[in-house]
Amino acid sequence: MEAIYDYVAGNASQHAFGWFNRLAKAIYSLERFPTRGPIIPENKKLRHLLFGKNPHVYRIIYALDRRTHVVNVLHIRHGVRGPLSVK
């Protein structure tokens, strides 16, 4: 998240702080609604949440541990990037 914030701040510093807060709020919303993101095609154990508006959509990829009710954010990537490489 910090690297993305730095990038946004470099391109639109006046909007970076608000944008970063909205991104954090979207991520923290997964605590209450962890299954709202669909399962991703690259891996049936992972889900994603889309954040932002075109052309600046970010894909928040996360895992949900149903036993412990824990959400682990694994990756935040720009939406125009190709599919996640699963190894």
**48-57, pLDDT tens digit by residue?**
999 998 888 9
The Cα–Cα gap between 27 and 83 comes to 20
The Cα–Cα gap between 68 and 64 comes to 9
Domain spanning 2-78: which CATH class is it, in words? alpha beta
**17-36, pLDDT tens digit by residue?**
788 889 999 999 999 999 99
Least Cα distance to 28 among 16, 20, 38 occurs for 20
Domain ranges of the chain: 2-78
Alpha carbon 15 to its chain's center:
18
Of the chain, the percentage scoring pLDDT greater than 90 comes to 55
The Cα–Cα gap between 18 and 12 comes to 11
To the nearest whole number, what is the mean pLDDT of the chain?
A: 85
The length of the chain in residues reads 87
Pairing of strands 70-78, 43-51: unpaired
